[in-house]
Amino acid sequence: MELKNSENKRKNSVPKKEELNSLIRKSKEKNLPTEVKKETSLRKKDEKSAISNTQKPRSRVKRGVSRDTNFTFKETPVKIIPLGGLEEIGKNMTLIEYEDEIIIVDSGLEFPEDDMLGVDMVIPDMTYIECNKQKIKGLVITHGHEDHIGSIPYLLKIINVPIYATKLTIGLIRNKLEEHKLASSAKLNIVNQGQTVKFDKMKVEFIRSCHSIPDSVMLAIHTPAGVIMHTGDFKVDYTPIDEEKMDLGRIAELGNKGVLALLSDSTNSERKGFTMSESSVGEVFEKLFANCMKRIVVATFASNVHRVQQIVNSAVNNNRKVAVCGRSMINMIKTARELGYIKVPENTFIDIDMIKNYPDERLVLITTGSQGETMSALTRMAAGEHKKVEITPNDLVIISATAIPGNEKLVSKVIDDLMQIGAEVVYSSLEDVHVSGHACQEEQKLILSLVKPKYFIPVHGEYRQLQAHSQTARKVGIPAENIFMLRNGRVLELTDSESRTVVVVQSGKILVDGLGVGDVGTIVLRDRQHLSQDGLIIVVMTMESATGQIVAGPDVITRGFVYVRESENLMDDVKKVIRQEIMRIEREGITDWGAIKAATRDVLREYIFQKTKRNPMILPILMEI
């Protein structure tokens, strides 16, 4: 009985199979690693949330809109593309491009260098403009000097773009276009200082500035990427002749709002201090005119309207009549008087043919030629070749300009010639008869400090001047990495967050010679230089077409090589050398014209160099019978 009961108790104490499996599973879960437990619990939560989400309505999400709140679209940059005016003085042209819109700033020319023989002027390469005609919205002009408006006729022949400029500048542009018969079709728009011209995505604000010509402006180009400021040519003149002071308040206001980039004139960036006021020249004129009993001849830049006004003022104050010499000076004064920029009493100006009717002490002549240009009025006067004006010892000649780099010898020659005649000559080394129209370092610092640009691009100057301006910018706190020394054709892309130079577009110099534009290149210039240095020899021979034999000649013609009458022996020897070469050619049966010309040229070049140490251009000519 007891045995039976104990057996029953043992049976009841042994766990059943299901209970045993449950106990084993629980003990394993207690011994699992922490990471596995977390993963298991997260999976369970996800399963619960998935079940609950199936019971809730789905929220609608718009296509193309990211749920990431930190995502931003990449900013569209504004592109600055200089086509001229960098590492040179002249042919200023800069493009401001934003998406499918381009605004052109200035379109100037450059005067030819000494090695550009026969070339009249140099203009920018406008290939990029021609390839992007559909993007061009307008041409905006800073002022009316030739290095900023001189190539406009050639631009309009590519695309008849609307032109926006101040009143005097438009007047000068119209005169230029009339010479090219383009005035009637041109779209000329007069803009007042302080006015804003709106395009599609950009707008251009014209800000009153100071320079050596009235109606100069700075440009504030408002783009979606930021404001681009372009100073044009400027100086800070607190006492300007026309009392139109630079709008420093508006410049500072734009600077406080934020300017993305500043492009600034670098011409005088190597000079310390300030540029003297234009009014200081008037005081010197008054001193020179007072009690002078001689005829006074003043040479200055035709475009310096303020200077002309001061010369006229001094003439009127000293009871003198004024005559004008030089086509560019006559055109400038005529336009400036018509538009009210030169104010003068009636009957002050007289025709140049009337100067013989007045005594010397009552005359002032205003003329061109302050740079010693070969065909200018003053140069012809100094050489005694002017048809209407003869310089005498009773003349006081005032050269109210400084020599542009490269013109020093020409100016010195004119001064020497005038002094040899006996005239009294006053120039910048003797009196302060000239002040620059460009800002020096302290004025550049003022503009930089007012504008406070994020990026700075020095323009309008040779490399050393651009470099000096960049150093000035660093002194006023612009970081070196935000200063860009660009080159013509280099594209600069700017946004508020980044800057980079990307590609290079086609740029360079297009030479204008007479009516030809671009047809004079390096090869033509090289030939002209060759001709100017060593001269030309032409060898003429007649060849029988049937047999290929030379039946007449050679005849030798020279230009700029030697004086033939004094070098007959040399000419006879040259003919003998050519005959010997022709005999060799005939023996070898050579009948190809190209081969005959080449052989003749080579043997003659070698002989002439051996005899004369000269290397003239040799031009063989074969005629067929």
Look up residue 374 and give its DSSP letter: T
Integer-rounded Cα Rg, in Å, for the chain is: 40
Q: Which three-class secondary structure state does DSSP give residue 476? A: coil
User: Which one of 265, 395, 513, 534 is the catalytic residue?
Assistant: 265
**CA 219 to CA 231: how far, in whole Å?**
6
User: Which one of 438, 469, 513, 534 is the catalytic residue?
Assistant: 438
The 3-state secondary structure of 556-567 reads: EEEECCCCHHHC
Task: Report which secondary-structure segment, H or E, holds 223.
Answer: strand 217-223
| H-state helical runs in 320-407 | 327-338, 377-382
**CA 264 to CA 266: how far, in whole Å?**
6
Q: Is residue 513 annotated as a catalytic residue, yes or no?
A: no
Backbone angles phi, psi at 584, to 5 degrees: -65, -40
Q: Which three-class secondary structure state does DSSP give residue 587? A: helix
C-beta separation of 173 from 188 below 8 A? yes
**CA 156 to CA 511: how far, in whole Å?**
17
What residue type is assigned to position 520 of the chain? V
Look up residue 360 and give its DSSP letter: G
Distances (CA, A) of 100 to 134, 334, 346: 8, 41, 52
Backbone angles phi, psi at 261, to 5 degrees: -150, 150
Name the strands in the sheet holding 395-399, side by side, starting at the edge strand that comes first in the sequence.
321-324, 363-367, 295-299, 395-399, 424-426
Look up residue 112 and give its DSSP letter: P
**CA 408 to CA 419: how far, in whole Å?**
17
Closest by CA to 79, choosing from 462, 479, 503, is 503
| H-state helical runs in 214-367 | 248-257, 279-289, 305-317, 327-338
Q: Is residue 469 annotated as a catalytic residue, yes or no?
A: no
**CA 203 to CA 286: how far, in whole Å?**
45
The 3-state secondary structure of 28-67 reads: HHHCCCHHHHHHHHHHHHHHHHHHHHHCCCCCCCCCCCCC
Look up residue 483 and give its DSSP letter: B
Catalytically active residues, by annotation = 265, 438
